Structure 1
Amino acid sequence: MQKINPLGLTITAMIAMIAMIMTSTMVNVAIPDIMGAFGVGQDQAHWISTGFLSTMTAGMLLNGWLVATFGPRNIFIATLTFFSIAGVLGQHVSSFEAAVLARFAQGLCAGIIQPLALSTVYLAYPPSQRGVAMGWFGLGIVFGPTIGPFLGGLIIDQFEWRLLFSATVPIMVVAAFMASIFMPGRDPNTKPVSLNVISFILIITSIMLLLNGISIGQQNGWDTDNVFLMLFGAIVALIIFLFRELKSHSPLLQLRLFSYRNYVASALIAFIFGAGMFGSLYIIPVLVQTIQGFSAFKAGLMLLPGGIVSMIVFPMAGRLSTAVDPSHTIAVGLAIFGLSCWLLADIGMLTSFWIIALLVAFGRVGLGLVMPSLNLSSMNSVPAELVPYAAGTLNFIRMTGASIGVSVLAIIIDYRTIGNGADLLTTQTPDNTPSVETIRMISEKLSHLGLNSNEGSLAAISYFKALLSLKAQELAFQEGHIALCILFMVGVIATTLLFRRKPDI
């Protein structure tokens, strides 16, 4: 039996996990820069985030087979190496498609590392110490998305956005070296696990067709043939996948988990929570940079108080979830997150930095309440022999929700920006006294700067059009927050109606 240093293993796993999760949120503050660099809109730019999240789900499905075949140490080091290579290549890409491809590769690696790190740390400790170990490990997971936007903004303002792809490479080198010392090798007693290649291809095909169908539907229209074929293909691939999984001797997902009502409830909430949480992490940095004119660093700094609040609430919520029914803390957490989104739907161009920061921090209280309770409720709802599969499946569902949530939210904002712009333009008639008066005042001020009346009028009209465009975007982001609020309220209702007090095992 291999001798394991639990502390060294935990630090190694946390370093890699924090760096990879940090990379997933670090790039969110660079979305406006990426849009400008490659000339793309929200309907395409979201792939920088969505691509990472979608392939992360694929990596989670590969983890069991890779670890059983090659051992934790080999896979850990190889994945960190591949992640670093993708980051260095991504830093020097010349097209948007290549940047997305680099994010695909990094997301795949992050999906492999997340369950690998969690399972190896869990098994490194005796049962009496696992709760404490998971608490510290969970705190590390929260730290990644907390510091990511802040460091990302700092790098963008001081250097350039391309460095975000490779910023964590030095950390990966350190983690790989530590893994060679502390990470266990392959256990010779481990039974070989076969990879269900066809099922893997089917589920990834279903997810990618769905995301592409949503994205292209916004660009080309929802009634076009290619959008219909993509969405129909996604449904067909999913049905075939589920049928194969029911019959397979080596399934990627243990569908038996869904015979337990509380696990079904946990999975549904995980999907909703993943979509809402990552949607919020995506929308806020883009909003404040686009509407408020914040720098990338200031946008990241604004999210920092919320991350600190999550780190404080997380261990407290973990203890609370063992004292009261987890469904109660889940419902309260979702309600708090939904309320914060409703309040954020009122922010605009003139809202102060600290008001936005405090509203974001308020929502992160809900995040801290939901995560430990959701994990605990899912584990407690299934028999002991299914617990290892329950955690991996729940993560897969949560990240699938995240990729779909970010994609749909970006489409909503892009679609409503166009719609709001058209609505505002229809109100700009000669009878619109406030608009006419505003243009006149702007023209007069420009005339004092040396412009003649014709030049001043043209410049004033151009400036007013820019204001209308900005207002259209502001309204779209507000509607995006309302959509998030509705999503979280659906989660509250589902939690209240679906959870049973006594697990059905």
Structure 2
Amino acid sequence: MSRRWGPRYRWLLLLSVMVGTMASAMSSTIVNVAIPDMSRHFALGQDRAQWVSSGFMVAMTVSMLTTPWLLSRFGYRATYVGTMALLLLGGVAGGLAPQYAVVLIARVAEGLAAGVVQPIPAIIMLRAFEPREQGRAGGVFGMGVVLAPALGPSIGGLLVDWFGWRSIFFMVVPFCLLSIALAYTFVPTSAPGGAAADRAAHRLDWRGLLLAAGGTLCLLNGLVALHGSPGVQAAGLLGTAVAALGVFLWWQRRAPATGRTPLMNLALFTHRTYAMGSIVAFIYGIALFGSTYLLPVYMQYALHLPASHAGTILLPAGLVLAVTIGVAGRLVHRVPTRVLVSTGLVLLAASFALMPTVGLASPLWLLVAWAILGRIGLGCILSSLNIGAMRPLPKDLIPQAASAINFLRMLGGAAGVSLCAIVLEWRLAAHGDSLAATQTSAGRLLAFEESFLMLAAICALAVLASWQLRERPEAAGTGQ
């Protein structure tokens, strides 16, 4: 394909996977705009409604670990087309779902597809592009991917107001169809590195996968059980999650000695830069995905804005994020990773800390300004964290490295959505209010303010790890 399309081929390949990643990114966030309407339609409480987001996150988190195995066994094209077909099926099923259980199943299917496709662009950027071009490629890719979720809530909010919550599930359909067509034209059939896909390759580490899935489910259910359930139940679930993590790590360390390929290569974390990057990815994942859940709920339940307004208010921030990623992508090889990531985390923390200044009488531009501030910070992080953390690694470790760091980011995200939902419910109860009430009380505003301040504190904690992203010159050369 390189001979056929010439030097532009790597950009055409990046465009092809970018469309699919846009679809998966849109499916991960756009449903949040419809949660209030969906909750009313199915008569759901906040604890059940948040599983529309959490179920997606759990499936997405766990399936990321399977990407290296799928690419090795089936190659780029078959893996990519399969995930897009599953995402398409999930969108159609969710839009036609007669019951809430069907919506959850559809969201899990979408999450499985989105998780597999997420690490693929990073693998392509670090393999198909020269080190001097990786920042530019990451910027171009990030701008495109961010535009979808930036525009998605605005369009989705209008669709919810005009046609109901079901219509938003169908937004991924055209993206999936286009991505499948592009895949058959530009995505190679080979496995990473240009080798032929090996259908007789090692078996998938099912034990590790089941341990990861079980531990993640217990973690999220344990967080939910912390509020409104007996303490013994919450302690049991969280204890099981910790035990599953311990057994998972033991199994991943033991698997190579038995001739099996582990789901997660623990040798990756002996590289200091990658280890610190993984810690940052986990912590900022909590804040990032927690806020994508909290902001639309805040605007609709606390400020009483319609769904279309909630999406439109976030549009300028999304556009600024796309531009920031493009600009920051060009700085990746000029500014140290720790500086870009730390700056981004400080700005993100500041945007959360300033949210309590917004009230019912505040002008909407104030909310827009704080959202833009946070998205500028997010743009600095997204364009530099993955590339900066993985650049020192040997190229044969890149597929597993991309899978593992995305897994940790999404694990944090899955926990973040549940954490925000539970903390919000807890603080609402503490202030004698609930989201079922039609009027916004001072207690409700205070509950949201405390939830935003929690996110600000989490971002501040991530800064401590981000400053350790020091890439040693001798290590950097091994990845190139």
Normalising to structure 2: TM-score of the pair?
Answer: 0.90
Which of 450, 468, 472 does residue 502 from structure 1 map onto? 472
* Counterpart Cα distance in 2 of 1:41 and 1:54: 20
The change in CA–CA distance for 1:77 and 1:189 in structure 2 (over 3 A counts) is closer
* Counterpart Cα distance in 2 of 1:504 and 1:261: 13
- Could you tell me how far 1:21 is from its partner in structure 2? 0.6
Q: Partner of 1:333 in structure 2?
A: 344
Q: Partner of 1:443 in structure 2?
A: none
Structure 1 residues 197-206 or 164-173, which shifts more?
A: 164-173
Total equivalences in the alignment: 460
Q: Check conservation: 2:21, 2:117, Cα contact below 8 A.
A: yes
- Look up the equivalent residue of 2:447 and give its one-letter code: A
Which of 485, 492, 500 does residue 463 from structure 2 map onto? 492
Q: Are residue 324 (structure 1) and residue 324 (structure 2) matched?
A: no
Q: Partner of 1:177 in structure 2?
A: 181
Give the secondary structure class of the aligned counterpart of 1:488: helix
The change in CA–CA distance for 1:484 and 1:126 in structure 2 (over 3 A counts) is closer
The change in CA–CA distance for 1:243 and 1:127 in structure 2 (over 3 A counts) is same
Structure 1 residues 166-175 or 394-403, which shifts more?
A: 166-175
The change in CA–CA distance for 1:181 and 1:381 in structure 2 (over 3 A counts) is closer
Which of 196, 206, 213 does residue 197 from structure 1 map onto? 206
The change in CA–CA distance for 1:4 and 1:354 in structure 2 (over 3 A counts) is farther
Give structure 1 stretches of 5+ with no counterpart: 424-464
Q: Are residue 239 (structure 1) and residue 246 (structure 2) matched?
A: yes
- Look up the equivalent residue of 2:225 and give its one-letter code: I
Which of 313, 324, 339 does residue 302 from structure 1 map onto? 313
- Could you tell me how far 1:501 is from its partner in structure 2? 5.9
- Measured against aligned partners, the alpha-carbon deviations of 1:250-272 in whole angstroms (never above 9, x if no partner) come to 01111112122222221111111
Q: Check conservation: 1:43, 1:218, Cα contact below 8 A.
A: no
* Counterpart Cα distance in 2 of 1:203 and 1:500: 30
The change in CA–CA distance for 1:133 and 1:420 in structure 2 (over 3 A counts) is same
* Counterpart Cα distance in 1 of 2:352 and 2:388: 25
Which of 224, 227, 230 does residue 215 from structure 1 map onto? 224
- Could you tell me how far 1:324 is from its partner in structure 2? 2.6
* Counterpart Cα distance in 1 of 2:176 and 2:75: 19
* Counterpart Cα distance in 2 of 1:322 and 1:20: 28
Q: Percent identity?
A: 33
The change in CA–CA distance for 1:124 and 1:256 in structure 2 (over 3 A counts) is closer
* Counterpart Cα distance in 2 of 1:422 and 1:284: 19
Q: Check conservation: 2:123, 2:402, Cα contact below 8 A.
A: no
- Measured against aligned partners, the alpha-carbon deviations of 1:148-193 in whole angstroms (never above 9, x if no partner) come to 2112112111211112122211221222122222221245634524
Q: Which structure 2 residues correspond to residues 69-218 of structure 1 after superposition, within 5 A?
A: 69-120=73-124, 123-125=127-129, 129-186=133-190, 189-191=196-198, 192-218=201-227
* Counterpart Cα distance in 1 of 2:237 and 2:38: 27
Q: Check conservation: 1:267, 1:397, Cα contact below 8 A.
A: yes
Q: Partner of 2:444 in structure 1?
A: 473
Give structure 2 stretches of 5+ with no counterpart: 476-480
Which of 13, 18, 25 does residue 21 from structure 1 map onto? 25
Q: Check conservation: 1:155, 1:164, Cα contact below 8 A.
A: yes
- Look up the equivalent residue of 1:158 and give its one-letter code: W
* Counterpart Cα distance in 2 of 1:414 and 1:281: 17
Give me the CA root mean square deviation. Answer: 2.3
Give the secondary structure class of the aligned counterpart of 1:241: helix
Give the secondary structure class of the aligned counterpart of 1:382: coil
- Could you tell me how far 1:17 is from its partner in structure 2? 1.2
* Counterpart Cα distance in 2 of 1:295 and 1:234: 38
Give the secondary structure class of the aligned counterpart of 1:323: coil
Q: Check conservation: 1:413, 1:473, Cα contact below 8 A.
A: no
* Counterpart Cα distance in 2 of 1:504 and 1:2: 31
* Counterpart Cα distance in 1 of 2:326 and 2:94: 36
Q: Which structure 2 residues correspond to residues 441-460 of structure 1 after superposition, within 5 A?
A: none
- Could you tell me how far 1:40 is from its partner in structure 2? 1.9
- Could you tell me how far 1:486 is from its partner in structure 2? 0.7
Structure 1 residues 281-290 or 165-174, which shifts more?
A: 165-174
The change in CA–CA distance for 1:64 and 1:297 in structure 2 (over 3 A counts) is same
- Could you tell me how far 1:131 is from its partner in structure 2? 4.2
Give the secondary structure class of the aligned counterpart of 1:320: coil
Q: Check conservation: 1:378, 1:391, Cα contact below 8 A.
A: no
Q: Partner of 2:265 in structure 1?
A: 254
* Counterpart Cα distance in 1 of 2:175 and 2:387: 31
- Could you tell me how far 1:390 is from its partner in structure 2? 2.3
* Counterpart Cα distance in 1 of 2:4 and 2:205: 31
- Look up the equivalent residue of 1:109 and give its one-letter code: A
- Measured against aligned partners, the alpha-carbon deviations of 1:260-317 in whole angstroms (never above 9, x if no partner) come to 2222221111111111111112111111111211111110110111111111111222
* Counterpart Cα distance in 2 of 1:309 and 1:69: 39
Give the secondary structure class of the aligned counterpart of 2:204: coil
Q: Are residue 483 (structure 1) and residue 463 (structure 2) matched?
A: no
Q: Check conservation: 1:115, 1:392, Cα contact below 8 A.
A: yes
Normalising to structure 1: TM-score of the pair?
Answer: 0.85
Which of 372, 378, 384 does residue 361 from structure 1 map onto? 372
* Counterpart Cα distance in 2 of 1:189 and 1:30: 43
* Counterpart Cα distance in 1 of 2:175 and 2:407: 26
- Could you tell me how far 1:196 is from its partner in structure 2? 0.6
Larger-Rg structure? 1
* Counterpart Cα distance in 2 of 1:173 and 1:466: 41
Q: Check conservation: 2:433, 2:441, Cα contact below 8 A.
A: no
* Counterpart Cα distance in 2 of 1:390 and 1:503: 20
Q: Partner of 1:427 in structure 2?
A: none
The change in CA–CA distance for 1:115 and 1:373 in structure 2 (over 3 A counts) is closer
Q: Are residue 349 (structure 1) and residue 335 (structure 2) matched?
A: no
Give the secondary structure class of the aligned counterpart of 1:312: helix
* Counterpart Cα distance in 2 of 1:317 and 1:2: 28
- Look up the equivalent residue of 1:189 and give its one-letter code: A
Which of 303, 311, 317 does residue 292 from structure 1 map onto? 303
* Counterpart Cα distance in 2 of 1:499 and 1:14: 27
